[in-house]
């Protein structure tokens, strides 16, 4: 009964806010429409310079093959290795290919020709992948094993990113908004009027949570709609599984937000602590970098990261079509986090100092 | 005497609201010029125009012969300004604040130290303390030092003494008088009529227009219906049954500091109980304990038979509370606030509607029921906050400085509401800095340094201290204080 009035108040305040409702809609749109294109780890259009000492039909063919590849962009044909290296230093090219004199002759004799590849590996992944691509062009040998790509057959990076971005949107909305909301009540002094009233800690916390739960749910649906319209991506698994997990996850994030707000006295403080947590959660969740390639100690830390479980569930259900049975471990971990953070949020909210 | 401030036909509006309408006046060198008028009458707007922070829509204003529009740099260099809310950096120490303001004005504290020495001397013992940890009176002295650090010729002060106790206010005005003798021109706005009387001339501003400029006595007589309303009369009907509040040796410590030191008192049902004391005497702390917002360190306190330590939720259900700082939701309308708090206290939906109608009419806010609380004048907000506090018909209501910063007529209207509530049998527990309000209480307790020094009816206290009015009683008692603002002055005098 009391809860109804409190929730009504939250929604009225949200509606009065000129900025927040727009942000809540705009934010997922920008994230879903822009980020999958921008936040990609695919290596394309490497700038390459070829130093062709041979100047034979064979070496010309090789240069054409490189030009035709979508991974490379031929930007220069320097006369010497020194000139090429200079171009790398000036950041005009990413890699060099030096074709030696006698390249065609060697090929005709059946000796594998010795070419030199020099790569700028300031960005390691980019350099290594680039040189691998280039070697494949140099020695196009049939692969001894046949590869079948499962769940993402065209190796589309967007497919991998979309569920992760949905996670990130939920983290930011459901984590930040309740925290900032409670702290701004502290700053305005309105929380004092609530603290002298019979509103219980549980009711107050719940009234702060439920609206953001609803918002999280609306935003999730908006994201899924956009994923379908723009990328033609629909969840492989049961949509209800996604809903259930999202509800639990929204609870975890808003619980964390409420805990932080209970310990913060200014917006600045709450904002900073929240951002600190978020950054660690996101970077250690497997969103951009796979957890399995982290050092062992870091992998253990990720077990304490609720985002990790949600990210896994989203990718499993969305892309692999996993059933609720497959995600039992992740789901139970998330639920544990939800319960712990809620108890903590209610405990740390003090009506009496 | 030379004219230093000349305002002619200035108008200013914010959207549809006309804040100032054709305002003209002059201030001569060395004058102490007062600005009085109800909340929202345009005083702060006028200050902001004089300090070149705001541009007038029409008319011209000259300060030190410089135009506020064309020559604002000259004005900013030679004018000191103390805005209504302290503009100190709470996280910087006293000394750091002062140095900061000196640097901003391209000067040093040492250069103009003689000017601020008499004032700064009083707070110098606390120069390493964070400004946020100072009491109201000390903050005000520091803010004054910061406004004086660049040796301005003109000092503009916008309600500098709001929320400050009578002793500190008196000291503050003594400082202003000293500055005036040194030849500084002062323009001060104030909601206190005793302060208005100390000005050379006052302007009475009402709804953006100047209604009169004259000697204080003349203005106060001419507009006595607003500025000096007649006192209120009340038949007291205090029952001598079981007390509603019973406090025994209550103590509250914050670290090594004892804010409330073994106080004992009781409040009877139906009483209007005034809780008085200087800034930092421990009033608010004691009140917060009784409301269940704060836990006592020692001692016992019962409110309506419930222990504040263990049964605070039971107490909260039965009391109303209005805090010092306005604490309703500014982004909800008048009606929505009443509805929300009605719902929180479990008043049923039908009853909320009828009580809302009744309340809105009684406090004269019926027309404004769909207005956002944010846009109401302070006096109206206070009336609304009081109505919210008694909406669920509690037996007891706590009011913490409910009328800070509003004019006498508005305060009197507020007290009419308090009397109405008292007539319905609601017990009132109120703190205030206004000594005329103290006279409206049935009984008064005076807190000094965390102790209760006196507790009696206003007449009883006046007789005991051989005082004409409550102000004198207060001055006599608060002078004894070892801590708080009066004590600092005291300590300083001994040091010299």
Is the per-residue pLDDT at B24 higher than 60?
yes
Residue A102's pLDDT band (boundaries 50, 70, 90)? confident
Write out pLDDT tens, residues B68-85.
888 888 888 889 898 877
Write out pLDDT tens, residues B179-192.
899 889 999 998 88
With a pLDDT cut of 90, the percent of chain A lying above it is 16
Write out pLDDT tens, residues B365-417.
999 899 999 888 888 999 999 999 999 999 999 999 998 878 888 888 899 99
Contact present, A31 and A173 (Cβ < 8 Å): no
CA dihedral B373, B376, B381, B387 (to 10 degrees): -70
Write out pLDDT tens, residues A171-224.
888 888 888 889 999 888 898 889 989 888 889 888 988 888 888 889 999 999
Is the per-residue pLDDT at A81 higher than 80?
yes
Going by C-alpha positions, the residue among B330, B373, B404, B333 that lies closest to residue B39 is B404
Going by C-alpha positions, the residue among B123, B174, B134, B164 that lies closest to residue B279 is B164
Is the per-residue pLDDT at B248 higher than 90?
yes
Cα distances (Å, whole numbers) of residue A157 to A29, A42, B481? 19, 7, 74
Residue with tokens 């306005």: B326
Give chain B positions within 8 Å (CB) of A18. Answer: none
| B21 dihedral zone (left: phi>0; alpha: psi -120 to 50; beta) | beta
Residue B86's pLDDT band (boundaries 50, 70, 90)? low
Q: Count CB neighbours of A194 within 10 A.
A: 20
Write out pLDDT tens, residues B160-210.
888 788 888 888 898 899 889 988 999 999 888 889 999 999 999 988 899
Contact present, A169 and A219 (Cβ < 8 Å): yes
The verdict on B253 touching A (C-beta cutoff 8 Å) is no
Contact present, A99 and A62 (Cβ < 8 Å): yes
Structure tokens at A54: 């041979």
Going by C-alpha positions, the residue among B340, B296, B347, B288 that lies closest to residue B317 is B347
Beta carbons of A12 and B336 less than 8 Å apart: yes
Per-residue pLDDT at A143? 63
With a pLDDT cut of 70, the percent of chain A lying above it is 94
Beta carbons of A197 and B341 less than 8 Å apart: yes
Give chain A positions within 8 Å (CB) of B323. Answer: 189, 192-193
Beta carbons of A192 and B323 less than 8 Å apart: yes
Give chain A positions within 8 Å (CB) of B321. Answer: 193, 196
Q: Hey, which residues does B28 pair with through a beta bridge?
A: B3
Per-residue pLDDT at A5? 92
Closest CB from A2, A17, A196 relative to B346: A2
With a pLDDT cut of 70, the percent of chain B lying above it is 95
- Quickly list DSSP for A230-258: HH----SS-HHHHHHHHHHHHHHHHHHHH
With a pLDDT cut of 90, the percent of chain B lying above it is 40
Contact present, B278 and B481 (Cβ < 8 Å): yes
Residues 11 through 70 of chain A touching chain B, CB cutoff 8 Å: 12-13, 16-17
Under DSSP, the state recorded for B278 is: -
Per-residue pLDDT at B493? 39
Per-residue pLDDT at A294? 86
Sign, CA torsion A210/A216/A219/A221? negative
d(CA B464, CA B449): 20
Per-residue pLDDT at A329? 92
Most confident residue range from A140-149, B50-59, B136-145: B50-59
Write out pLDDT tens, residues B356-373.
999 999 998 999 899 999
Per-residue pLDDT at A74? 86
Write out pLDDT tens, residues B431-478.
988 888 898 999 999 988 888 989 999 999 999 988 888 888 888 887
Under DSSP, the state recorded for B74 is: H
Structure tokens at B115: 């000017």
CA A211 to chain centre: 26
Residue A83 main-chain phi, psi, to 5 deg: -65, -40
Contact present, B119 and B141 (Cβ < 8 Å): yes
Give chain A positions within 8 Å (CB) of B388. Answer: 193
Per-residue pLDDT at B481? 67
Residue with tokens 């606030």: B337
Instruction: List all residues 6 or more positions away from B65 whose beta carbon is below 8 Å from its beta carbon.
Output: none
d(CA A163, CA A286): 12
Structure tokens at B166: 């009578």
d(CA A311, CA A303): 12
Instruction: State chain A's mean pLDDT as an integer.
Output: 85
Contact present, A225 and A28 (Cβ < 8 Å): no
* Residue A208 to chain B, least CA–CA distance (Å): 15
Q: Count CB neighbours of B13 within 10 A.
A: 14
Give chain A positions within 8 Å (CB) of B312. Answer: 351-352
Going by C-alpha positions, the residue among B446, B470, B451 that lies closest to residue B459 is B470
Per-residue pLDDT at B491? 39
* Residue A13 to chain B, least CA–CA distance (Å): 6
Cα distances (Å, whole numbers) of residue B324 to A29, A190, A346, B287, B437? 44, 12, 27, 11, 16
Residue of chain A whose Cα is closest to the Cα of B344 = A2
d(CA A265, CA A272): 12
3-state secondary structure of B68: coil
Per-residue pLDDT at B263? 93
3-state secondary structure of B257: strand
Closest CB from B327, B329, B341 relative to A192: B327
Is the per-residue pLDDT at B486 higher than 70?
no
Structure tokens at B463: 């007789």
Contact present, A274 and A179 (Cβ < 8 Å): yes
Sign, CA torsion A334/A339/A342/A347? negative
Strands A95-99 and A116-119: antiparallel
Closest CB from B293, B343, B345 relative to A352: B293
| A47 dihedral zone (left: phi>0; alpha: psi -120 to 50; beta) | beta
Q: Is B190 exposed, middle or buried (0-12, 13-18, 19+ CB in 10 A)?
A: buried
Write out pLDDT tens, residues B32-70.
999 998 877 888 889 999 988 889 999 999 998 889 888
Per-residue pLDDT at B489? 43
Per-residue pLDDT at B273? 94
d(CA B288, CA B290): 5
Structure tokens at A242: 């996604």
Give chain B positions within 8 Å (CB) of A353. Answer: 293-295
Helices H, strands E: what count in chain A? Answer: 14, 4
Per-residue pLDDT at B476? 85
Instruction: State chain B's mean pLDDT as an integer.
Output: 87
Is the per-residue pLDDT at B487 higher than 50?
no
Per-residue pLDDT at B488? 43
Cα distances (Å, whole numbers) of residue A348 to A250, A260, A352, B119? 20, 9, 11, 43
Alpha helices in A232-327 (DSSP H): 239-263, 267-283, 296-302, 306-315
The verdict on A350 touching B (C-beta cutoff 8 Å) is no
Q: Can you point out the beta strands (E) in chain A?
A: 46-52, 72-76, 95-99, 116-119
């Amino acid at each position: 009964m009391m809860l109804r009035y409190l929730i009504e108040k939250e929604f009225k305040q949200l509606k009065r806010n000129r900025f927040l409702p727009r942000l809540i809609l705009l934010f997922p749109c920008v994230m879903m429409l822009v980020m999958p294109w921008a936040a990609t780890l695919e290596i394309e259009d490497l700038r390459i310079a070829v130093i062709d000492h041979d100047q034979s039909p064979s070496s010309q063919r090789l240069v054409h093959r490189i030009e035709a590849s979508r991974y490379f962009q031929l930007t220069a044909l320097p006369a010497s290795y020194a000139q090429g290296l200079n171009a790398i230093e000036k950041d005009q090219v990413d890699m060099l290919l030096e074709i030696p004199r006698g390249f065609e002759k060697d090929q005709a004799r059946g000796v594998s020709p010795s070419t030199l590849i020099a790569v700028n590996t300031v960005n390691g992944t980019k350099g290594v992948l680039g040189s691998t691509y280039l070697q494949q062009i140099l020695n196009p040998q049939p692969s001894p094993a046949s590869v079948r790509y499962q769940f993402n057959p065209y190796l589309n990076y967007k497919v991998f990113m979309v569920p992760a971005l949905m996670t990130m949107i939920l983290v930011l909305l459901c984590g930040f908004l309740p925290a900032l909301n409670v702290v701004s009540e502290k700053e305005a002094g309105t929380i004092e009027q609530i603290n002298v009233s019979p509103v219980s800690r549980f009711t107050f916390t719940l009234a702060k949570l439920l609206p953001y739960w609803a918002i999280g749910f609306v935003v999730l649906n908006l994201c899924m709609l956009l994923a379908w319209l723009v990328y033609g991506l629909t969840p492989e698994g049961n949509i209800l599984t996604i809903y259930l997990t999202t509800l639990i996850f929204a609870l975890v994030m808003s619980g964390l937000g409420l805990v932080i707000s209970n310990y913060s006295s200014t917006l600045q403080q709450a904002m900073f602590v929240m951002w600190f947590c978020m950054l660690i959660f996101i970077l250690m969740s497997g969103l951009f970098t796979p957890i399995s390639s982290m050092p062992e100690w870091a992998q253990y830390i990720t077990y304490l990261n609720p985002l990790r479980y949600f990210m896994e569930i989203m990718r499993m259900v969305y892309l692999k079509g996993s059933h609720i049975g497959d995600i039992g471990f992740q789901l139970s971990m998330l639920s544990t986090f939800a319960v712990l953070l809620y108890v903590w949020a209610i405990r740390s909210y003090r009506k009496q100092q | 005497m030379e004219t230093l401030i000349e305002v002619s036909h200035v108008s200013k509006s914010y959207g549809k609201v006309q804040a100032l309408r054709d305002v003209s006046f002059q201030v001569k060198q060395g004058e102490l010029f007062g600005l009085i008028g109800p909340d929202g009458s345009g005083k702060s707007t006028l200050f902001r125009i004089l300090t070149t922070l705001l541009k007038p829509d029409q008319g011209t204003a000259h300060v030190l012969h410089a135009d506020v529009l064309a020559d604002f740099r000259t004005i900013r260099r030679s004018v000191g300004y103390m805005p209504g809310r302290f503009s100190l950096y709470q996280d910087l120490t006293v000394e750091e604040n002062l140095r900061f303001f000196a640097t901003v004005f391209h000067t040093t504290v040492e250069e103009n130290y003689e000017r601020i020495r008499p004032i700064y001397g009083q707070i110098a013992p606390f120069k390493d303390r964070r400004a946020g940890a100072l009491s109201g009176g000390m903050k005000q002295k520091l803010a004054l030092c910061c406004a004086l650090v660049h040796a301005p010729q003109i000092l503009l002060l916008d309600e500098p003494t709001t929320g400050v106790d009578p002793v500190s206010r008196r000291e503050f005005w003594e400082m202003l008088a000293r500055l005036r003798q040194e030849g500084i021109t002062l323009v001060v706005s104030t909601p206190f009529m005793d302060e208005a009387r100390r000005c050379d001339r006052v302007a009475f501003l009402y709804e953006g227009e100047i209604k009169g400029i004259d000697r204080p006595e003349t203005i106060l007589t001419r507009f006595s219906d607003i500025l000096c309303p007649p006192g209120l009369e009340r038949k007291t009907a205090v029952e001598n049954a079981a007390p509603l509040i019973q406090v025994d040796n209550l103590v509250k410590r914050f670290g090594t500091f004892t804010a409330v030191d073994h106080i004992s008192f009781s409040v009877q049902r139906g009483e209007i109980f005034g809780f008085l004391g200087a800034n930092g005497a421990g009033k608010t702390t004691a009140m917060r304990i009784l409301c269940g917002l704060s836990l006592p360190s020692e001692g016992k306190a019962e409110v309506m038979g419930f222990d504040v330590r263990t049964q605070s939720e039971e107490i909260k259900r039965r009391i109303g509370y209005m805090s010092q700082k306005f604490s309703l939701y500014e982004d909800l309308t008048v009606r929505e606030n009443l509805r929300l708090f009605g719902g929180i206290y479990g008043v049923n939906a039908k009853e909320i509607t009828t009580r809302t109608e009744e309340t809105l009419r009684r406090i004269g806010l019926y027309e404004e029921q769909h207005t956002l609380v944010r846009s109401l004048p302070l006096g109206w907000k206070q009336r609304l906050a009081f109505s919210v506090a008694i909406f669920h018909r509690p037996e007891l209501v706590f009011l913490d400085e409910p009328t800070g910063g509003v004019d006498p007529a508005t305060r009197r209207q507020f007290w009419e509401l308090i009397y109405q509530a008292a007539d319905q049998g609601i017990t009132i527990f109120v703190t205030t800095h206004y000594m005329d309000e103290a006279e409206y209480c049935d009984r008064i307790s005076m807190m000094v340094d965390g102790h209760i020094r006196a507790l009696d009816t206003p007449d009883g206290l006046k007789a005991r201290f051989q005082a004409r009015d409550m102000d004198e009683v207060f001055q006599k008692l608060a002078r004894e204080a070892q801590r708080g603002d009066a004590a600092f002055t005291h300590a300083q005098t001994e040091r010299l």
